[in-house]
A = this chain, B = another copy of it.
């Protein structure tokens, strides 16, 4: 017996909601991650433009390119976490639905703080705004996962993966919090911390993978 994505009448409603929810989430993640590039724009160059002018302009937007790459990787990491969570989640109720929509709200908001931080990389406020907004995605992920595990929506056969995912949702918010504290005495170090988040997630995943 087969159950396909839209074969509505033969499926328990809870599972159907799950399918469209996952689909919709994937689309929002994909769009938010791809919109980030729209923030990279060369300034208008006046008069006869030479290669040297374009070179200077490219150097000028280099922080935006770095911001694009970091945000892309951070959101990609959140997507990968979302992906692994919903591989274990077996049904959806209203509570999970709205927590997940809140998560998507923070994801689709992220191009704005990314643009702000990339525009003014040497100021404290944009850095903190960026750190808070990245942390918010993580906090919402944690809420989704906490709700799912507590309301028995999850296939807990793989208890280690359940725990690992819980820890993972806290990793990025903690680095962001730490970066915000550090930003009160050294902006450059705080900046490096934020830029290193994708690296940290990668290393963490690799360690977790080894321990498996």
Which A residues fall within an 8 A CB radius of B? Answer: 1-9, 13, 15-24, 26-38, 40-42, 49-51, 54-55, 58, 65, 68-69, 72-73, 76, 79-80, 83-84, 86-90, 94, 97-98, 101, 104-105, 108-109, 111-112, 115-116, 119-120, 123-126, 129, 155, 202, 205-206, 209
Contacts and interface: CB of A to CB of B under 8 A. Distances in A.
Nearest to A23: B26
Q: How many copies of this protein are present in the complex?
A: 4
Contacts of A104: 33, 76
Nearest to A202: B98
A111 B37 contact: yes
Contact of A28 (B1, B30, B42, B89): B30
A14 to B, nearest CB: 10
Contacts of A8: 86-90, 155
Contacts of A101: 73, 76, 80
A130 B17 CA distance: 29
A142 to B, nearest CB: 20
8 shortest interchain CB distances as A-B pairs: A2-B2, A27-B30, A31-B34, A6-B19, A51-B125, A34-B108, A76-B101, A4-B4
A97 B80 contact: yes
A90 B16 CA distance: 13
Nearest to A61: B112
A37 B35 contact: yes
B73 A9 contact: no
Nearest to A11: B87
A26 to B, nearest CB: 5
Given A80-B101, A94-B205, A209-B94, A155 B9 contact: yes
